[in-house]
Every structure is written in C-alpha cells, then in structure tokens.
Structure 1
C-alpha cells in the first residue's frame, strides 16, 4: 500500500526526487525528509477546475480526502488568488489569477542545490511564500543564517506560524524583496523564488564578493530562465543561465500593466513581415524576442475576419499587429517605436549567429544596467 503518514510520505517524496535526478546532495535529502511540507499547507490550497476556460480554482482543505497525500505530490500548489483570497475564504470556484503558491518540490530542491551553499553561509531568500523552502534552508544551515523577505504581510505571517510549528525560527522580513534587506548584508548567497524582469542592483550590492545570486529572469512574453551569478570584487556580477525552462510568478512590482483600451489597429503602417508570430512558439526564440521588447505583451484577437496577434507595449504607447495570409505574414505597427522591427532584428541576428541555446548566454549585472549576450557559433 502507498504510504499515508507524513514521515513516510516525505521519504517517498525524497525517493522520487532522487530518482528524477533533482535531489543529489545527501544534506538536502535529509532536509526534504525532515521538513513537513503539509504544515506549510495547513490553510489548504487551490486546484484548477478541469475543463474551465479561463481557469477556475476551487479550494482543497485539510479535511478533504487525499489532502495529505497531495501535499507531498511533486506539484506546485496555489495558496493565494488575486492577492487576498485564500482557500479558507470559501468553497466555491474563483475566476482570478494566482498570486502565491508552494512551488513544486523538484524545482525547490533543484534551486537549493544550484545555490551551492556551504556550511556557515548566510542566505537571503526573496519571497518567503508558504515558508517551505525557508524551512529547508533552516534545516540545512541553521535558523540564524537564514533571512527571508516577503512583500505580503499575511503570507509572511502564515509562513512564520508554519515555520515555528515545524521548529524553525529564521529572520522574517515584511517588505519589498526587490530592495533586499540591507541591514543584514552582506550575504554569501541570495535566492529569489519569484521572477524578475531584471536583477535588482540591490541584490548584487548586498552579496559579498565571491557570493552567488540565483534568480529567474522573465519578461511579459513569459519565457523565463534561471540565472546563477557570481559577484566579483568590483561589484559586478557575471553568470550564465542554467537551462531547464524555469517558471515563477513575477514579483508584484514587475507584473505587466492592464492593457486598457486597445488602440485602433487599422492605423499605422503595414508591411510584409520577415518573421511570423509562430517563431515565438520556440522557447529560446521567445526569450530572445523578449530581450528586444521586455515590456511588450502578446494577445490574440479576432479582427476583420481573421486572427490578429498583437504585441503591445502599454508604457511606450506602441503596438504591432501580425496576421497570416496563406504562407505569408503581414505586420502593421504604430507608436514611437516599431516593436516587431525590434523583435525581427534581434531574432535574425540570433539566427545568423547559429541560434545558440539560452544556456550558452551570458549575463552581466552592474549597478546601472543588465546585459545579456549570446555567443556566435
């Protein structure tokens, strides 16, 4: 029979993570076997309603059959919706976007292993969330070496209760994680459990020379990658992307703005497109396109009897609408910048350089800017 008690479920989870190649370090395995993930989900979680479009969410509470086993499944579990709604708020369905979750364990342990901590390292975690990964860090390093920042006071409070009930007492800070936590700097390691459009200079400044920053870089086209950076003596961080198509919810200040009233798509200038929007179906190509237009959003709309794929940068006041005509694509653009021109220029240069995969890209972060480059084959 499958295990039904929490300790056995933790051991079974550790076995699955090890068999999948995600859990390789014995010290992290001991942490997985010790830290009770279900304690961080006592408030329940949301599951998607099958077949709903847009996705509807319904609560799963501790008195629901199978709740304990689900807590130890290798899956992300949504714990908050729309910034305020938690599972105990009701038993109906919710048609809003998730804003907090317990990340799937294989990603949690992969990132903790990629952080390359050593005994005695002081770690700053950005995004406490449920507190489960915080608990794993405490078990591995000791409470006094772990500081975790969470922007949502209610989320931080629930995490603190769960951590305390599990026997862990790290320093928990309520505040803007993008600003780090200057009072505790410098840190040996910094790990972010949210996506960002660019690595905040504060994270680099608060990490000691030789220290490591691990963060997921994303854009509003939602191709994201995990970057590991090492801070040099001059305060500049250099690193690479680790591959694996990591995906996290964006930090709240980095969420895209509402599209608002859509522009008149019959204005602007039309031309034959050198590339169609279908090129963005490739993950690496979409990441490259994102480098060109990191604050552009992509929506598909039925217009004039055919589907238009519209790239919109709300802040810049620019848009590009693409449509397919047989085997060919056309693009109509307007605004102070030509978004699809920028995407095509970037992608065609990347293709001319041999279309290197994202794990070969290099990233440099200074106090003023972030620069991402790729090699030429």
Structure 2
C-alpha cells in the first residue's frame, strides 16, 4: 500500500475506535502524512528482550512505511541523544522521545475542543505530527509549540516545512510556556506533568482550556481538562482512559542513590498490601498520598520486598507478603505507607469512585484532587 492508502486506512481505524469524531480533525489526519515526521526512522522493541532492547527501523526497511501508519507510539530517541540512524544492532537504554500513537493524538485534539480563531500553545513538539494536525485545522499563525530538546525541535521544523507548515516553534522549557504569544485559548501538553505550572495558567485566557496528563513517580496518570478562571486558578475533571506519557524532563524523579538501611524502622502488619498498586486506579490514589515516592522491587532474604522511597525527604516504607498477610517497615521523617493506607481506605469507603468523578483544583502550582465523599 502507498502512503495515501495507508492514511485512508488509519482514518477509518481511528473513526471506528471513537477517537476521531469530527470532520475538521478527520480532514487533518487525511491530509497530513505521518511518515514525513519519521524520516529519521524509529525504534522497534525487540521481542522477548530482558531488559528491553530496541532496534532501528529505517526508511529503507520494508516495515517502515506501514509501521508509520500503525496506531502505535513509535520511539524516536533513546537516552536523550541517540536516534535510529546512530545504531546498528540493538540498544538497551530508556526512550526519551517518541511519536505518540495517532489514536491518542486525535483523541486529545478532539478533547481540546478548539474552534476557528483559537490560539493554541503545545508543550512538547516531538516529531511535529500533532503540531501539523493543529496547523491544518487552525492555521500556522495560531499554533505555538515549545520543545526542550533543540535537536528534536530542528527535526520537527524540517518535517513541518516539508509538509508546508510554518508554526511558531520555540526551543525552551515548556513548563514555562511562551509568554510572548499569550494569551492562549487552549494549552495542550504531550508529556506527563506532576502539576500544572502557574505560568501555563497565567498564559491562558480566563475561560480557556488546559489539557494535560497529570502523573506522578508511581507512574499512574490521567488526562485532565481544566478551565482557567479570572482569579488565576484552574479547575476541572479527569477524562479517563489511563493515558500515559513520558514525564516532562525537568520533572523526572531523582536517582534513588544509596538506599536506607531497610532493616531499621518500625515494623507492623499492613492493612493494605503493596499489590494494590497493580490496579491502575488504586495506584493513582496511592500516588496522591505519596507524590514524592518511587517504587522498586527488591529480592532480599529469599523474598520480594516492595520499597517506596521519597528521596528528597528520606521517608521510606518496605513491604513484603506471606500467606496473604503483608508486613510493613517504615522509616524517615514521615510514614509513607500509613499515608497511602489512609488515602486508599477513604477512597474505598466512598465506594471507590472512578477517576472521571474526581475534582481537580490548581492553585499556586499545587493540584488539589478530591472525589465525592472523600
């Protein structure tokens, strides 16, 4: 199949899935060639590799063109600098940039609820594909996109130019927005955020919309749509769907460093086991109680232990289970697992409402997230 036929197939697939819902965005996906934004190739996960290995797929590979039009996220950069053309063979490092799956891209653009004449600020240009869709829908002059990585931004600028688009592309920290283009009617972030920076709220007109994925270091995240108010706050709700993005680079968790002495601390039976984080919604609630905690599994004393560590505060909790019973040991200036147990118990007592019923208020950079009865 050629790229036009693949685009038609992609449009049909996204419409059938319910992600592509309105004609203006359907026309944009039909018109914008995604493969032009992947001319540098992409990385494909090597089946069965442990730890995960990645192999490049370049334009001369028969798999490349069809791969560009799959409804899948495609890794385009690894370890902060490495692109597919740099590798012969495989690499075992963490992805740092990608082309988001088209279904998620168009779902978010639909959820952004833009209208003709709206000025949009995009946080995270990436390959430039979503930027191009917005340019097609709104016009180049109405789109500003900020990318922290200069090399990524340069590749996006070239691809956008090849497709005839010239939006305002900025290299910088997207968390600071771009005040010279403000006020914006809509702000959209294509990376995970721990909170909504005050700068983004300030640069959005009252009544405008901010669409972001709120995340944490336990890596449960949800898409939130917020309305900005005259008093400088923003409020709204989660839209559901368990959406995941790479965290914004300035908000990545700190290295774990030297672990605390896990044989010290207060030991007691746990009311809730560490296995609760296997459930997405429960992990999201747990993350609200311990926003600075990271989780790692350790094999010690012939058992698997689950460590929750807040590097900045030094608080930690380690849990292990046996025969359906869980034990917790905690140390540091606060009790991480006590806080998680309390928050999860309150949520369950309220009937474990879905995240779509949670209420979000952002004031002075801090999101307050509650639920009915909680």
Q: Give the TM-score, by structure 2 length.
A: 0.99
Structure 2: how far apart are the matches of 1:324 and 1:310? 13
Deviates more, 1:212-221 or 1:279-288: 279-288
The answer (yes or no) to whether the contact 1:356–1:376 under 8 Å persists in 2 is: no
Measured after TM superposition, the shift of residue 325 of structure 1 is 2.0
Q: Which runs of 4+ in 1 moved over 4 A?
A: none
State the match for 1:68 in structure 2: 65
State the match for 2:342 in structure 1: 345
Q: 1:237 aligns with which of 234, 239, 249?
A: 234
State the match for 2:27 in structure 1: 30
Deviations 1:49-95 (A, max 9, x none): 11111100010000001211110000000000000000000212111
Deviates more, 1:325-334 or 1:188-197: 325-334
Partner SS for 1:17: helix
State the match for 1:321 in structure 2: 318
Partner SS for 2:245: coil
Measured after TM superposition, the shift of residue 123 of structure 1 is 0.2
Deviations 1:129-186 (A, max 9, x none): 0000000000000000000000000000000000000000000000000000011110
Measured after TM superposition, the shift of residue 254 of structure 1 is 0.9
Deviations 1:2-49 (A, max 9, x none): xx1111111110010001111010000000000010000000000001
Structure 2: how far apart are the matches of 1:91 and 1:28? 38
State the match for 2:132 in structure 1: 135
State the match for 1:255 in structure 2: 252
Structure 2: how far apart are the matches of 1:281 and 1:368? 29
The answer (yes or no) to whether the contact 2:197–2:365 under 8 Å persists in 1 is: no
Structure 2: how far apart are the matches of 1:145 and 1:91? 40
Structure 2: how far apart are the matches of 1:77 and 1:369? 32
Would you say 1:57 and 2:59 are equivalent positions?
no
State the match for 2:179 in structure 1: 182
Partner SS for 1:355: coil
The answer (yes or no) to whether the contact 1:197–1:219 under 8 Å persists in 2 is: yes
Partner SS for 1:65: coil
Deviations 1:319-357 (A, max 9, x none): 101011212100001101111011001111111111111
Would you say 1:6 and 2:3 are equivalent positions?
yes
Q: 1:199 aligns with which of 172, 196, 200?
A: 196
The answer (yes or no) to whether the contact 1:120–1:145 under 8 Å persists in 2 is: yes
State the match for 2:355 in structure 1: 358
Partner SS for 2:109: helix
Would you say 1:96 and 2:89 are equivalent positions?
no
Structure 1: how far apart are the matches of 2:291 and 2:299? 25
Structure 2: how far apart are the matches of 1:367 and 1:307? 40
The answer (yes or no) to whether the contact 1:277–1:322 under 8 Å persists in 2 is: yes
The answer (yes or no) to whether the contact 2:196–2:365 under 8 Å persists in 1 is: no
Measured after TM superposition, the shift of residue 370 of structure 1 is 1.7
Structure 2: how far apart are the matches of 1:113 and 1:11? 19
Structure 2 gaps, min length 5: none
The answer (yes or no) to whether the contact 1:356–1:374 under 8 Å persists in 2 is: yes
Measured after TM superposition, the shift of residue 368 of structure 1 is 4.7
Q: What is the RMSD computed on CA atoms of the aligned residues?
A: 0.9
Measured after TM superposition, the shift of residue 369 of structure 1 is 2.6
Would you say 1:278 and 2:281 are equivalent positions?
no
State the match for 1:41 in structure 2: 38
The answer (yes or no) to whether the contact 2:262–2:318 under 8 Å persists in 1 is: yes
**Aligned positions, number:** 374
Partner SS for 1:351: helix
Partner SS for 1:316: coil
Structure 1: how far apart are the matches of 2:87 and 2:321? 45
State the match for 2:144 in structure 1: 147
Q: 1:110 aligns with which of 107, 119, 124?
A: 107
Would you say 1:375 and 2:372 are equivalent positions?
yes
Q: Give the TM-score, by structure 1 length.
A: 0.98
Q: 1:330 aligns with which of 308, 327, 330?
A: 327
Measured after TM superposition, the shift of residue 267 of structure 1 is 0.6
Structure 2: how far apart are the matches of 1:168 and 1:8? 22
